[in-house]
Each structure stands twice: as structure tokens, then as C-alpha cells.
Amino acid sequence: MCLQSKINDRSAKIGIIGLGYVGLPLAVEFADNGFTVYGIDVNQNRIDQLNTGDNYISDISDEKLQQLVNSGKIIGTTDFSILNSIDAVLICVPTPLNKSKDPDVSYIVNVLEQLKKYIHPNMLISLESTTYPGTTRELILPELNQSNLKVGQDFYLCFSPERVDPGNQRFKIKNTPKVVGGITKTCTKISKYLYESIIDTVVLVSSPEAAETVKLLENTFRSINIGLVNEVAIMCEKLGVNVWEVIDAAATKPFGFMKFTPGPGLGGHCIPIDPHYLSWKMKTLNYQARFIELAGEINTSMPSHVLELIGTGLNRFQKSINGSTILILGIAYKNDINDIRESPALDVMKLLELAGAKVEYYDSYVPKIQWNGGEKVGLTKLTTASLKKYDAVVLLTDHSNFDHKLILNASQLIIDTRNVFAGVEDSKIVRLGCIQTK
């Protein structure tokens, strides 16, 4: 039976390699649409969790996952030999940067070593991990060609960038358009057919390189614009202007302006990292991606600027950072999720400790973290008594379950990096992007 027929009658077996924030929601979506899904991961603890229906991704319904696992529609394994019987393989492994901000594609390479052993005729392979333009054709295809199977005839290869936005209640996998670019037109066609079985809109591009660049453009666009408003926030502090007022007023223009807001820095796996994949690729072509580099400099400097704001606030009370007790409110990289990857809050905490402060945190989504070779446990509850004991509280992530009234009334000093206390005139509040009263 051809692959399209198997997709149509849901007899196609789906293999998803990497069961994190991208892979597991994708597995649930395919399984919920009638496919049998094999989740493959090298992390045995993660596989054990999955096979008991223990949900570890907040965007997924606990009940839905339990139902799909119990019914046998999702099966977790660390055994790559299952690929022998898989019809479509979706690769969703991490693609971090190393210390010099060069791409680390070792996870993809490790997958390829396994995939080469089990590739078979009529198999579709789709890379979803964000990477530099050329990865699919230059890295993956030559390895798979060693099988003597012909791409576009015997097997199908494409790139289709993940577009997961953790915590987004409006746009999920189903209603977020999916970009697909195959090595050949047939690869693109087969990939489109697969993704259309679970996603409302599939957007075709001419090549994997185009699809790879689409993802990098999306997050480079965000990184550069966030870098711009972060710099404008600093300029507004020096000008004695309220940046939040300026942004809100500019956003009333019905054309030619898109609203971005400043903050303590960039977090998550995509926006702080993806632009550097494009920058790295351009360096290999002897071209400097100047906007990317500049935005990166500004955005990575924001935790240091927050440290300056904390120092400014403490000075009002004749205190220094050294020796102060400081509470961080929110360490997830964005509100209402439990993801701390690349969170600027971690950088702020580190800078504060280096400056001699005693630092604690509160985040109901992240009860504990690995810190300085051990474990750091956050406060379990905010109370008037607990807030009063801190010299300063620093609001870095505005979770919707924060009691703003309690924080305002009980705190001695508030460093507000998210404009939570807009319109509140109180000398104990120091705002990012506003004039700082001495």
C-alpha cells in the first residue's frame, strides 16, 4: 500500500524522535487524529513517564494524554529499531548553540546514525528541529543516500519548522499554518499530505532551504524588534519619557507599526538562539548579519540593565545590592508556563549573587530549579509577612496568578520590568523604560 493510502486510512505508523515541547504535543495531535504514534527518546525517565500517562508538558491535557496512552495510540520507547516499521519519521530533537554561538547539530547527527540503519522504502522523513539553511540537503540527505534508496522515489525528505508557542491558548498545532519544503516536488507533496491530516493549513515552499530560512526569519524578526524596543526603553529612561506610554500611543496607528514591548531579556529555545543560526551561516559565506549581532548584544545586556535598576531602587533607601535580600518574581521565560530555557531571570539571579545579594524566588509554575550544582527551591506562597522581609522584589515574569495588590502593598521596593504597575505613582516602584526618581 502506498504511503498516501496509509495516511488516508490512518494505518500509517508515525515515529516522533524527541519528546519535548515540540515532539510530545505533535505526538498527541497525530494520535488524536487516529494514527498510532511511537515516541522515541534517549531519556528513559521521559519514556517511563509517557508510558504511564504522566504528563510533563503544560500545553497538553493530562486527561487527553492518559486516554491516548491507555488506548495504545501513543507508545514510548528508547529502541530505535522500531523505525523498521515506521512510515513517517518526524525529528524534533534539540539544536542548541555552543559557547561560541555556533550551531550544535550533534543531536541530529545522532539520530541520523540510527536512522541510516532502519530507513526503508516508502518512508517519509521530516526534520522539524530549527537549524541553519542547508542542513536538510547538506547534512541529512548525503547520510540517507548511503542506503542506495533514491530520494523522491524510494523515500521522501523534507524540512518543516516547528512553530510551537508554549502557553498560547489561541494558536495550537492544528490552527497554526505549517510550512513544508521538500528535497523534490514529490517529497513536498507527500509531506503536505501527511501534515494536512492534522493541520488546517499547509504552506508549501520551493525547497528545504527556503523552509529553514522561514523559521529563522520569523524569530530574527522578533529578536530584532525586541532589541529595538529594549534600546528605546533605555533611551526613554535617559529622556525622562515613559516608554510604555510611547509604545501604546504608537500602536494606535492602524498601519506601519507592530507593537513589541521591552523586558529583562530574551528567553525560550527559539528567539535567543535561532537568529544566531542564520548569523553563523552567513559568516561561512563571508557576510556579517549586522542587525542580528546588534540585537543580540542589546537583548543579552538587559539583565545587566535590570541590575542597574535594582541598584537605583536600593539607593533610595540608602542600601546597596551587596548584603540585600532580594526576591525574584517569576523565573519562567514567559508568563503562565513552566519553561525556564534561556530565561533572563536566571541571568539576573546570577548577577545579583555575584554582586553579593541573597536571592530567592517565587514561581508557582517552577517550584524548584537546578542551581550552582545543587537544587534551589522557590517560595511556596506569597504573603504579606514574606514580602516584607525582602529589601526588593524584582518582577521579571508576570504570571496571571500573581496577586498584584498584595505585592504592591507588602513590598518595600518593587523593580517592575513588565509595566505591571502602570499608573501607580509610588516612589517604591522602579520601572523599566521610565524616568527614575532619585
Residue 246's domain spans which residues? Answer: 240-431
Instruction: Give the span between the Cα atoms of 183 and 206, in whole angstroms.
Output: 9
Residue identified by cell 509531506 is 191
Specify if 218 maps to a domain. no
φ, ψ of residue 314 in degrees (nearest 5): -65, -35
Tell me, yes or no, whether 71 and 171 share the same domain.
yes
**Nearest-5° Cα angle at 142, 141 to 144:** 65
The cell for 291 is 542587525
Q: Which of 92, 158, 270, 434 is catalytic?
A: 270
pLDDT value, residue 110 = 96
Specify if 92 maps to a domain. yes
pLDDT value, residue 1 = 64
Tell me, yes or no, whether 275 and 389 share the same domain.
yes
Specify whether the CB–CB gap between 6 and 36 falls below 8 A.
Answer: no
Q: What is the pTM (predicted TM-score) of this model?
A: 0.92
The cell for 258 is 507592530
Identify the bridge partners of residue 123 per DSSP, sorted by sequence position. Answer: 155
Question: How much is the average pLDDT of 353-362?
Answer: 97
Specify whether the CB–CB gap between 42 and 78 falls below 8 A.
Answer: yes
Split at pLDDT 50, 70, 90, the class of 437 is low
Tell me, yes or no, whether 377 and 313 share the same domain.
yes
Tell me, yes or no, whether 193 and 251 share the same domain.
no
Tell me, yes or no, whether 183 and 67 share the same domain.
yes
Looking at the chain, the number of H-run helices and the number of E-run strands are: 14, 15
Split at pLDDT 50, 70, 90, the class of 436 is low
Which CATH number fits the domain that encloses residue 318?
3.40.50.720
Rg over alpha carbons for the chain, rounded to the nearest Å, is: 24
The 10s digit of each residue's pLDDT in 65-110 is: 999 999 999 999 999 999 999 999 999 999 998 877 788 999 999 9
Tell me, yes or no, whether 200 and 280 share the same domain.
no
Split at pLDDT 50, 70, 90, the class of 160 is very high
Is 270 known to be catalytic? yes
Give 85's DSSP letter.
G
Specify if 225 maps to a domain. no
pLDDT value, residue 187 = 98
Tell me, yes or no, whether 196 and 272 share the same domain.
no
